[in-house]
């Protein structure tokens, strides 16, 4: 299927690995000019066919500086993918086990980075009558399985996307949220990361956790979501073929969320 994206320009944040890298590859494969931004680049991003840009989007000025450089070098943005997120989630703490500084750091990366990048890019996206995609998480709907600051930030991101879609829909801009379920990324596969912390808390090995994670999360197939599955949906959203898809949170979770 021709998604009619050849020649258009996309900016993808958090692009060096995982879902972000998969999105970069999917959009490049569709003929787009893709700028992949990350705090640290990777060999995989460098080899993806995208232009890799170093940017720290957790800072107040980072998003605007990034967008300015993209506009100066590549012109207007047709598709903005706010994928950057995660952060220091390698420890499991009780609900009130995070201090103000930690809440602020997690919100800066998982919420305000998307707000600031969208704000910096919106005039350009209006000119192209383009698309903004915010990568969220089913944690916004089922918050018991992840740190409270993270899931709360993602819930805020979901509402932000809906409000932005309403505000800018009349100017031809679409805004969509994509919420993956448990996905085979380093968040889970790194034994020194969040997955390792969860395994330790449950008293199982990291390999045992990964083997049972999908089933424990309610995925009927017993298979984790793959980054490429999320990326293919984002590529479809970017297409004119999805022109009526806006203002919603689209769940890509293998059936983990049971509510309508």
- The candidate with the shortest Cα–Cα distance to 80, out of 183, 177, 181, 185, is 177
The residue annotated as part of the active site, out of 98, 150, 168, 250, is 150
Q: Measured between alpha carbons, how far is 67 from 11 in angstroms, rounded to an integer?
A: 8
Which of 16-20, 183-187, 224-228, 230-234 shows the lowest mean pLDDT across its residues? 183-187
How confident is the model over 231-243, as a mean pLDDT? 98
Work out the pLDDT band at 90, boundaries 50, 70, 90: low
| Domain residue limits at 73 | 9-188+227-252
- The percentage of residues in the chain with a pLDDT greater than 70, rounded to a whole number, is 98
Mapped onto helix, strand or coil, the DSSP state of residue 48 is coil
For residue 134, tell me if it sits in a domain.
yes
- Are 82 and 11 spatial neighbours (Cβ–Cβ below 8 Å)? no
Work out the pLDDT band at 194, boundaries 50, 70, 90: confident
For residue 214, tell me if it sits in a domain.
no
For residue 37, tell me if it sits in a domain.
yes
Work out the pLDDT band at 86, boundaries 50, 70, 90: confident
For residue 125, tell me if it sits in a domain.
yes
Work out the pLDDT band at 88, boundaries 50, 70, 90: low
- Neighbouring residues of 143: CB distance < 8 A, sequence distance ≥ 6: 151, 152, 155
Read off the pTM: 0.95
For residue 242, tell me if it sits in a domain.
yes
- Are 219 and 254 spatial neighbours (Cβ–Cβ below 8 Å)? yes
Work out the pLDDT band at 75, boundaries 50, 70, 90: very high
Task: Read off the CATH number of the domain in which 173 is found.
Answer: 3.40.50.720
For residue 211, tell me if it sits in a domain.
no
pLDDT in tens, 43-74: 999 999 999 999 999 999 999 999 999 999 99
For residue 197, tell me if it sits in a domain.
no
What pLDDT sits at residue 95?
A: 81
168 has catalytic annotation: no
C-beta neighbour count of 74 within 10 angstroms: 15
For residue 59, tell me if it sits in a domain.
yes
Q: How many domains does the chain have?
A: 1
- Are 155 and 177 spatial neighbours (Cβ–Cβ below 8 Å)? no
């Amino acid at each position: 299927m021709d998604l009619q994206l050849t020649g258009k320009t996309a900016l993808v944040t958090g692009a060096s690995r995982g879902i972000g890298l998969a999105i970069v590859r999917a959009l490049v494969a569709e003929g787009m000019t893709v700028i992949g931004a990350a705090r640290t680049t990777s060999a995989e991003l460098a080899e993806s066919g995208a232009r890799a840009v170093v940017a720290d989007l957790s800072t107040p000025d980072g998003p605007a500086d990034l967008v300015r450089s993209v506009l100066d070098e590549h012109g207007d943005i047709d598709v903005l993918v706010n994928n950057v997120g995660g952060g220091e989630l390698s420890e499991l703490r009780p609900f009130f086990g995070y201090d103000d500084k930690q809440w602020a750091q997690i919100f800066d990366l998982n919420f305000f980075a998307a707000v600031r990048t969208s704000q910096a890019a919106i005039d350009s996206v209006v000119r192209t009558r383009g698309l903004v995609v915010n990568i969220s998480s089913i944690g916004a709907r089922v918050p018991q399985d992840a740190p409270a600051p993270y899931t709360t930030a993602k819930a805020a991101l979901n509402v932000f996307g809906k409000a932005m879609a309403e505000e800018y829909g009349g100017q031809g801009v679409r805004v969509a949220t994509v919420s993956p379920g448990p996905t085979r990324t380093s968040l889970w596969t790194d034994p020194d990361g969040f997955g390792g912390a969860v395994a330790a808390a449950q008293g199982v090995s990291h390999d045992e956790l990964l083997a049972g994670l999908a089933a424990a999360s309610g995925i009927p197939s017993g298979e984790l979501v793959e980054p490429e599955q999320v990326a293919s949906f984002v590529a479809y959203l970017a297409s004119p073929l999805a022109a009526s898809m806006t203002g919603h949170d689209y769940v890509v979770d293998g059936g983990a969320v049971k509510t309508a």
